[in-house]
Structure 1
Amino acid sequence: MKKIAILTSGGDAPGMNAAIRAVVRTALKNDIEVIGINMGYEGLINGDFHPMDRRAVSDIIQKGGTILKTARCPEFKDPVVREKAAQVLRIYGIEGLIVIGGDGSFMGAKGLSDLGIKTIGLPGTIDNDLAYTDYTIGFDTAQNTITDAINKLRDTSSSHQRVSVVEVMGRNCGDLALYAGLAGGATTILVPEKKMTKEEAIREVMEGRKMKKNHNLVVVAEGVGGARELAQDIEELTGIEARATVLGHIQRGGVPTAFDRILAARMGHRAVELLMEGKSARVVGIKANKIIDMDIYEALAMERTFDEELYKIAMDMS
């Protein structure tokens, strides 16, 4: 293995830069040339490449986002487009590719592997929605960002004795809502994995008032949605003042936590090792604090399980 490339794809996540740094410096330490690909698979198709040395990744470990930029590339699902991308890599003499992203990015890596390109995937997504790994790069930072926002909302909600309904990211995975809701002392947590009606959520708020709570906090995953509508319904049906806050893309930005930086370093280092071992179509993850790797096909086929125990803890303590 003499030359590899790296790209970031899909939504950005804090810690992606730390992963890029780990890959570049581990590769250079082993006399492997590294090519950075800008704008994800779109940049791969267009040959938007540049060489990366140690200075290229200096002073980025603490930065959010991704220095390689990122983009979604729906056309990469086309076999003809993937064949073109594989040919571009061959023309540049690139023997291996490391992809940092979520499940859609991994599908692209899987397609390139089928065409003979050695690929390794690193889980970079704030949603924590990949079943094969306990944590994804960026999840810890995002939940801390949400918790910080909840702390601030608590102050004003307590002052006005109102209900705060906070909508967080997570279309199909409620981990951000669950973890941040537990850390922030939420009264109610609405996630895609646990069906709760509007009436049940409002009843939780009313029970809180009976217990003389100064304020109520409802955390809603975007997969459930309707934070503004829920706040309006709470106010109309209970007479309690309610306000909705949709955190949006603030959750993706910011300085990555130490946990995410260390996780990214461990995963990036292992990704290079796998390519040096001649492995392909593998994804790197973490289980019980041990870095693992597994077949990308198996990883994508795994069904995610919701942490019922943690949800019960959160509800019991609400």
Structure 2
Amino acid sequence: MESIAILTGGGPAPGMNTVVGSVAKTFLQKGFRVIGLHGGYSGLFNKNPKTTDIDFLLADDIFNRGGSYLTMSRFKPTDKNFEEDFNLDFFVKNNVKLLVTVGGDDTASTANRIAKFLEEKKYPIANIHVPKTIDNDLPLPAGSPTFGYQSAKDMGSIIGRTVATDAKTSGNWFVVAAMGRSAGHLAFGIGTACHYPMIVIPEMFNKTTITVDKIVNLVVSSIVKRKIMGIDYGVAMISEGVFHSLSDEEIQKSGIHFSYDDHGHPELGKVSKAHIFNEMLEKKLKEIGQKVKSRPVEIGYEVRCQTPVAFDLVYCSMLGMGTYKLFSEGKTGCMVYVDPAGQISPLYLKDLQDPTTGKIPPRLVDIKSDKFTQVVENILNYITPADYEAAKKYVADPAEYDFKKILNW
């Protein structure tokens, strides 16, 4: 019997099980055996990988659940792993014809390496990747989201709305931090859904170097503007990705000492970014003599394993079924792509990769789009030159907290 193997890599996102379950149901119906690999890519470089045969009942049981039935990992194979440890016997003995990988940017980059490796060695194994990440930062065409993003944004917005209600009820400020390693999609999406008066994402610093002081001053700008408006409460949303843009000197200024993962990324999940931002904000408010209470709230792991919303249940089902469609057409070394109209097509990793590094570059928030500029102009609250005179009641130099001056816009 011909088989396929499927693995999930990186961190969780709502819809992992929907993809796995939909792939399994579709291929089982076509007469294939479906083997689930546990431990992400580590299973491919292990003589005794942990596997589970996925039958229809298992697929039907997990497809609408959060989390991932197949255990995940961030294992990143080295060149030595490829040459010495790649478990070709697993594919030969089980007559595996297709490897399905489910993951984000790092998983996609490794999938790209595997596709090249299989092609160079002339191993007759197709490879198709399913793009996932709550960060929404894979460069899919036409603004199509990565799966998991809509569900994470939905849960984040539920948390975010309760925080905004608390702020209004208690007359306090809150500093909320949301996941997003290099792009601010999740933070911007949640902040927009909740009409937060300040949103800070790394893409905003396109004309100036990002610093701790600038981040804090943007929040102070909103606090002072709201005071001028007669409002003593609010919420500031800050993307954790701003840390990735800070210099080593600036990170030290924040007082945080990061450890780094296998891909060289600071392990932001080990610390509360909201707590860090809030501490820095409180210090600044004390310096300028403003008695404002602020509280930190982290939106992180809480949104990664939630039950998928209907959008992702349908989208991930299409991605799962689309995997078979592409395989049946002889496609390999590609991502499965479902456009906004519901059409399925291959998106080749080699066309998305950086020609020098081979890595898949992240998709950033388009700060020139109406989607972004309209929020900045109509939802955010911040100091402008017209507010300088009124702002002098709260700060000595209002220009220092002018939103567009801070960003050099």
- Partners of 2:278 and 2:294 within 8 A in 1: no
Question: Are residues 1:41 and 2:102 paired?
Answer: no
1:188 corresponds to 2:198: yes
TM-superposed deviation, 1:102: 0.7
SS of aligned partner of 1:115: helix
CA gap 1:137/1:83 in 2 versus in 1, 3 angstroms: farther
| Range 191-200 or range 275-284, more displaced | 191-200
Distance 1:191 1:271 in 2: 34
Aligned counterpart, 2:92? 90
Q: Distance in 2 between matches of 1:124 and 1:303?
A: 12
2:281 counterpart (231, 238, 257) = 231
Checking the alignment, whether the CA contact within 8 Å between 1:283 and 1:299 is kept in structure 2 is no
Q: Secondary structure at the match of 1:307?
A: coil
Q: Flag the structure with larger Rg.
A: 2
* In 1: Cα distance, 2:78 partner to 2:373 partner: 39
Residue 209 of structure 1 pairs with residue 227 of structure 2: yes
* Alpha-carbon distance, 1:50 to partner: 2.4
Asked whether the equivalents of residues 38 and 44 of structure 1 are also in contact (C-alpha less than 8 Å), the reply is no
Displacement after TM superposition at 1:239 (Å): 1.8
Match in the other structure for 1:294: 347
Q: 1:171 to 1:233 in 2, by over 3 A?
A: farther
Q: Deviations over 1:242-275 (max 9, x none)?
A: 1111222112121110001111001111112211
Q: 1:304 aligns with which of 339, 356, 363?
A: 363
Question: Partners in 2 of 1:82 and 1:184 — Cα distance?
Answer: 50
Any idea what SS the aligned residue of 2:96 has?
coil
C-alpha distance after superposition, 1:165-221 (max 9, x if no partner): 100100101000111110011111111111272223311221022112242111011
For residue 315 of structure 1, the aligned residue among 358, 376, 392 is 376
* Percentage identity across paired residues of the two chains: 26
Letter matched to residue 297 of structure 1: K
Unaligned segments of structure 1, at least 5 residues: none
Which residue of 2 is the match for residue 178 of structure 1?
A: 188
Number of residue pairs matched by the alignment:
317
Structure 1 stretches (4+) deviating beyond 4 angstroms? none
1:16 aligned partner = 16
Instruction: Kindly provide the amino acid, as one letter, of the partner of residue 97 in structure 1.
Output: L
Partner of 2:133: 125
Aligned pair partner of 1:166 in 159, 165, 176: 176
Match for 1:109 among 111, 116, 119?
111
Post-superposition shift, 1:305? 4.2
Cα distance change of structure 1 residues 235 and 62 upon mapping to structure 2, 3 Å threshold = farther
Distance across 1 between alignment mates of 2:6 and 2:362? 27
Instruction: Return the alpha-carbon distance in structure 2 between the equivalents of residues 235 and 254 of structure 1.
Output: 36
Separation of aligned partners in 2, 1:209 and 1:234: 16
The 5 A counterparts of 1:234-273 are 235-236=285-286, 237=288, 238-273=290-325
- TM-score normalised by the chain length of structure 2: 0.73
Report Cα offsets for 1:90-130 as digits up to 9, x if no partner.
34321111100011111222222123231101012111110
Q: Go from structure 1 to structure 2 and tell me whether the alpha carbon gap of 1:305 and 1:254 turns closer, same or farther (over 3 Å shift).
A: closer
* Counterpart-to-counterpart distance in 1, 2:114 and 2:87: 6
What do you get for the CA RMSD once the two structures are aligned?
2.0
Deviation string, structure 1 residues 31-82 (Cα, Å, up to 9, x no partner): 12211111111123232222211012122222111001101103x1334336
Which residue pairs with 2:335 in the alignment? 283
TM-fit CA distance, 1:303: 6.0
Shift of 1:83: 5.9
| Cα distance, 1:230–1:311 mapped onto 2, change above 3 Å | farther
8 Å CA contact retained: 1:282, 1:294: yes
How far the C-alpha of 1:84 sits from its partner, in A, is 3.1
Q: SS at 2:203's partner residue?
A: coil
The TM-score, its normalising length taken from structure 1, stands at 0.93
How far apart, in 1, do the equivalents of 2:280 and 2:227 lie?
17
CA contact (8 A) 2:185 2:364 kept: no
Change (3 A) 1:278 1:82: farther
Q: Is the 8 A contact 1:145 1:251 kept in 2?
A: yes
Contact 1:234 1:240 in 2 (8 A): no
State whether residues 147 and 184 of structure 1, in contact with CA within 8 Å, keep that contact through their aligned partners in structure 2.
yes
Instruction: Write the distance in 2 (CA, Å) between the matches of 1:229 and 1:98.
Output: 44
